[in-house]
Amino acid sequence: MRGAVVAAAAAAVGNMLQGWDNATIAGALLYMRRDLPALQAHPALQGLVVATSLIGATIVTTFSGPLSDSRGRRPMLIASALLYSLAGLLMLWSPNVPILLLARLVDGFAIGLAVTLVPVYISETAPPDTRGLLNTLPQLTGSTGMFLSYCMVFLITLAPIPNWRLMLGVLLLPALLYLLLTIFFLSESPRWLVSKGRMKEARTVLQMLRGRQDVSAEMALLVEGLTTGRDTAIEEYVVGPTDEASGLAPGSMFGSAVTLASRQGSMLDHLKDPVVALLDSLHDMNPPAGGTTDVPNLGSMIGVHDRPPIDWDEENSGDDDGDIAAPLLTMEGEAATSTVGIGGGWQLAWKWTEGVAADGTRQSTVKRMYLHEEQAEGVHAAALVSQSALCTKKEAEAEVEGGWREVLEPGGVRHALVCGVAIQILQQFSGISGVLLYTPQILEQAGVGVLLSRLGLRDDSASILISGVTTLLMLPSIGVAMRLMDVSGRRSLLLWTIPLLVASLAVLVAASVAPMAAAAHAAVCTGSVVVYLCCFVMGFGPIPNILCAEIFPTRVRGLCIAICSLAFWLADIAVTYTLPVMLASLGLAGLFAIYAAVCCVALVFVALRVPETKGLPLEVIIDFFNVGAKGTLPNLHDDDDHY
């Protein structure tokens, strides 16, 4: 998977520049206030300097998603690198506040493109079993950028007259590096290429990303991902002998999971989103003894021959490599197979039926089936069944058309969008942007200079040094998150780390109101901030972006991500702009008490509405949301199909 890792790492440098910017503006603010009297006199203007980049990110987010859907992910990331470079030049110059605001606006454009599209790009290029790990790279690079930036800012603070313009302008150097990486190391997303009918390019990119020539199964999956599947249902199939005692065949993981979810009866279970209940039960099931194999003997219900041709790319007309119907379903040197593995223990199959309409004409239907691997002998298999992309070109193109109509209609897309928007807003109102951007000021107000007084450092240098050390401590926490993201899962990490966020904020509030010595007060506050940040980057930091990049179908993924990102930036602006005023009026205790209350709300929301997506192909996830949008879980044993 070297190709996928290289592509993810190159794209994640865009988030490193965001982290770099967060740290430099946090350090530079201490000196801007002294050099620009207007900032010292008007706290709201100081907040505007910081929030202008967020305003820029919000503006660009409104069209970046749809533009990436039409023009591609790679051009947008190259544009982000160019904007970062221009912002670095402007901030290095910045003779006055208006030019500084312009530079921050351009910087926001670059940040908005990177933060919105990097998770999308990584999700669309990574394999299912390592998607969580690779999509945690942006959090790692962002925190690394913050640490390196704090080191740079600290060295500049040791000068007799620290230069805040230099602190901000150094952004130009990593921005140029990012530009080179996006040009030479980023290929276009294979899912986007398939959505535009460029099958040859998509196959070539997939072969490079996966490091192998045979990518037929994944190509088939990407083609199927073009259709929405509004009619998604869970159907049961029994292949082979059943267990007479139970009426079921052994090894039914998916089927047993659905049945278990449908029979849950506690009050909490009834409050859960149906998608959450279903996937909780599915992930709780242990794999069958002896491992898993392909579902056998499905030839009687799945047609593997005489599929209607579909020409998605005129440049491939008449070329076997561009024919979706046969090559995607046939391994080299082997006969056509009835199922193909698509990763994460899932298989893709097709249900082909023919009938006669009322007017006497023959009609045929192709439906795709996502099946989970089961035991080889005697299979009771449940499958997600919905409309296949294997139809005529006209019908397929009609299915591919998405946009606002599809987003606003009831169904899996809108169901997923509500989840994505809510978790992005809750993430920001948990206070992370305020803590990151104002860490030096928070620590300075907490009296952190007392801890380093023997080193002969000024209070501002001491607060920046501890901020840098705090950021360094975040890196091992991100390493733990990368290890657990595809093992424990996204939902589990959130449920474990959010209570720790609440506890750290509660300690910070208690330390702010309880009388104690200056050194003890500074130590407790610093420790609370460190625990908060380390726990945040393990869960609530990376996971909202990962989830939002996973739960939408390909053709509207950019649009839906833009909506989620817009919610993110609006909440970010609200938190960042109001924090200096709230800090001055409420103090540390009142401010962090509010953040703690929001974290409690977030914990309840995650428990009831955020599903586990680890190991699932992206195309399977949206079909689960289609099922959940109906509001009920099926009982599989009422009407079984037997073969």
Q: What is the pLDDT of residues 185-220, one digit of tens each?
A: 999 999 999 988 898 999 999 999 999 898 888 888
Read off the pLDDT band of 365 (50, 70, 90): confident
Please provide the size of the chain in residues: 643
Tell me the percentage of the chain whose pLDDT exceeds 90.
36
Domains of the chain as residue ranges with CATH: 1-185 (1.20.1250.20), 194-226 (no CATH), 233-237+337-355+362-385 (no CATH), 404-627 (1.20.1250.20)
pLDDT at res. 284: 60
Over residues 91-117, the mean pLDDT reads 92
pLDDT at res. 452: 62
Cβ-contact 205, 187 below 8 angstroms: yes
Q: What is the pLDDT of residues 514-537, one digit of tens each?
A: 888 777 877 888 888 889 989 999
Q: What is the pLDDT of residues 42-83, one digit of tens each?
A: 767 877 887 799 889 989 998 898 899 889 999 999 999 999
pLDDT at res. 242: 43
Instruction: Check the CA dihedral 376-380-384-390 and report its sign.
Output: positive
Nearest alpha-carbon partner for 470 in 405, 391, 528, 540: 528
Using the predicted structure, report yes or no on whether residue 400 has a pLDDT greater than 50.
no
Using the predicted structure, report yes or no on whether residue 290 has a pLDDT greater than 90.
no
Enter the tokens of residue 334.
């082997």
What are the start-end ranges of the H helices in 272-403?
A: 274-284, 393-400
pLDDT at res. 314: 44
DSSP for 44-107 reads HHHHHHHHHHHHHHHHHHHHHHHHHHHH-HHHHHHHHHHHHHHHHHHHHH--SHHHHHHHHHHH
Cβ-contact 119, 546 below 8 angstroms: yes
Helix axis angle, 554-609 relative to 97-125, nearest 10°?
90
Dist CA 292 CA 294 (whole Å): 7
Using the predicted structure, report yes or no on whether residue 375 has a pLDDT greater than 70.
no
- 60-74, 223-237, 394-408, 584-598: least confidently modelled range: 394-408
Dist CA 551 CA 285 (whole Å): 22
Backbone angles phi, psi at 641, to 5 degrees: -105, 125
Mean pLDDT of the chain: 78
| Residue 454 burial class via C-beta count within 10 angstroms: exposed 0-12, middle 13-18, buried 19 and up | exposed
pLDDT at res. 265: 55
Cβ-contact 287, 363 below 8 angstroms: no
Cβ-contact 355, 362 below 8 angstroms: yes
Which residues of 179-309 form beta strands (DSSP E)? Answer: 233-239
Query: Structure pTM?
Result: 0.84
Cβ-contact 146, 469 below 8 angstroms: no
Nearest alpha-carbon partner for 51 in 573, 625, 637, 578: 573
Cβ-contact 596, 505 below 8 angstroms: yes
Using the predicted structure, report yes or no on whether residue 427 has a pLDDT greater than 90.
yes
Read off the pLDDT band of 304 (50, 70, 90): very low
